[in-house]
Structure 1
Amino acid sequence: MSHGHDEGRAPGTGDDAGRTFDALPPAPGRGFAATWWGRAWLKALEDSALDGAQLKRGRAQARSGAVGAVTVRPGRITAVVRDRDGTAHRGDVLLPVLRDEEWDRFLAVAVERAGHIAALLDHDMPPHLVEDAAAAGVELLPGIGDLEPECSCEAWDLCPHTAALCYQVARLLDQDPFVLLLLRGRGERRLLDDLQSGSAARAAAPAGPQAAEAPDPGPSVRADEAFAARGILPVLPDPPPLPAEAGLPPTLDTETPPAPGVDPDALEFLARDAASRALVLLAGALAPGHGERRAAAALTPDQDAVRMAAAAPPPVVMARLAAGTGRSRTGLELAARAWHHGGAAGLAVLEGDFTPGEALLARATAALESAWDGTGDDAGRPRLRAAGPSRWTVVGARLQLRLGPDGSWWPYRREGAAWAPAGPPSPDPATALASASEPLPPAEPEPAG
């Protein structure tokens, strides 16, 4: 049955003639629309349906991958939809196209704001553009009753086949809002050409009477002069208070099973990690003197992986981080402890034995000789043996001091066959060693290095 939406219209040319999209894969356990305009499309569909059972069946068919390639032309979308028994039905859904004068009004609205054009170029459909177009009498999104179905199953209203087609089109709209504009009558290439022409014409148009009557903005001001006058500008309000803690991520523990390869615990951890990082960055931005500080160096992928490992991720994330960094599980745990005590600097001390320069080595040697002076207890002075260019091991104990490039001292403790970070750094070697000291079992043969 035909509803005549495209009667009397000349065949399209160029990309106005239509586009065909390959069949999309099944979509079990996911929504059909993530963008607001995709959801608006589905609302028009669901508001128009007289039989909710047909919608439900159509949604199930779309999820199962029963919808074939979708062809979008001005005023019409078409696809072959297969039933469970393999029977194929051609389904069409019709939508009124915009008249030329409506397109002229839409283009005039779009070129009024640079943001509208930028959004369209980015394949985005900003709500303000749709609202401004509606105010000019141009409805881009379908309303109740605008979507009219036709199907070879001869249903007189929406059937499961045309409903499945509409649900599939919502996924296409999420990917590219120009699908909607083509359905309304203009292809992407033609529309962008029209926008460019309209924008150029608007820029070249002479000022009209309204422009002549506009108040004189006064002479322009150089940027350096404006900056010099900042002291007389109104005082900005105080920034909002810093939250006490990062917000909680949404729970992903739903009745719908996750897609293969997706771990909800891992996603929740990543959301928590992002919120915690955001709070740290915000705290730094609000701290006094932030503008005078040098920006911190960006982390390398390896450093960022260790940083995440230090945040106690679930086992599946820890295993992926270990594999991605080429470390064993134990090696990654040691790296995470080093990061916990000193960030990137602590990780560098764990994994490198740098050779200090002559001046730094002289200061370090003097610090080691004088660190325990004045304690009145020579028995408490540890015997240190050089174990590398910047490492000193305590003889008879499972303790070690490591010198950092900045002259700070890092305490280490032997755990099994490895040296493990045992505390934060200190400018004083005695303080650093004390933070790592605790009752230890009898000393074992010391590992090399």
Structure 2
Amino acid sequence: MSDMYDESNGETHTDDGHREGAYEHERTFAALPATHGRGFAQSWWGQAWLKALEDTALDLQQLKAGRRLARAGAVGAVSVRPGRITAVVQDRDGTPRRSDVLLQQLSEDEWDRFLGMAVERAGHIAALLDREMPPHLVEDAAAAGVELLPGIGDLEPECDCDAWDHCGHTAALCYQVARLLDQDPFVLFLMRGRAERELLDELQVRSVTQAEAEEAPAEEQEGPQEGVDADEAYAEGAILPPLPGLPPLPPEPGLPPSLDTEAEPAPGLDVAALEFLAAQAAVEARRMLAEALSPGHERQSVEQELTLDEDAVRLAATAHEAVAARLATAAGRGRDGLALAVRAWEYGGPAALSVLEEEWTPEADAMARARAALDAAWDEGERPRLRAARNRWTVVGSDAQLRHGTDGRWWPYRKERGRWAPAGPPAHDPATALAVVTNGE
């Protein structure tokens, strides 16, 4: 990336569209163009930012006004620095409004805990270098007592329109920041108090220090040593012989023995089905081994065991026709029903299967936010009319439907041969999910 320095104000302009201020801890991003027909945030961290805004605001009409202003390109250049974001927002009548949103910075102790946690897992550092924020980084930080993403009430608005809560101007600024977060998660770290270069430098120093400490002999390491790890005790051989090394991950699943023999199978034994199950067991064993060998596996939560019905759908997703027919009969779904379940499974596993089969009643405030998001995604009078029935919203006069999952995501559905069928992966933004099944209609 090349830099262009402006001697008149001490600022450096960079090719990625932002301006480094005279101080290290400030970045200014050029105004973004108007946008239509899509959600403001595509990344999960950008959506988490919007959730904090929408859970905090007391006036949904101001949020709606903010979305309209942001979509219209009314938000000027956005200045980001520790604890504050600032922009001039053009009101609908052209009046410029200075708008700020405040977010509390992390304390030195919180940064110390976050950096210490991050260097323990190489995957976190690799993700940050790739300009990504993996969910496990945020979850691990929260476990260490550090909240990276804003929660309810954390986004404090200030605007010269003198509104006492979020007004349309501060809401528009927040929606624009969600687009910036999609492009660069380091914007969030800067708001919390650390510039990108400073953060990466600190991580690198800690990584080198930790690696040197691990390589040093035990007697040279500073500080008291509390006990010995079990694998070290076993390796010394004083109690038991050393444990064997960890098994290497095979390049591909093992091949089960062939059952094609001259002997006739026992009555009732389906040889093809047995071979299929053996092959699937090998695939699953390799997957589980890969997870067990991955760094930090011991800190991951244990996946909930599949039910018999869920496991039947999982198997059917890769089964040949004869085995799939047996699974359809055993599951009591029939071929068409199993085909729908398999399609749902391929879009989202157990969560998608639950959405296919279950109806439930979401909370009213969640539905109100969803309606506001849908209203903002289309120009006045252009949004498709929806008929809501519990967690299923059907487009009037169309074969399109949205389904709300218990995990907060929206799933697109389309009617095919008289049955509602999954039509794509889920989205946190209902407008994004609805676009999957309404584009081109």
TM-score by length of structure 1 reads 0.48
Which structure: larger Rg?
A: 1
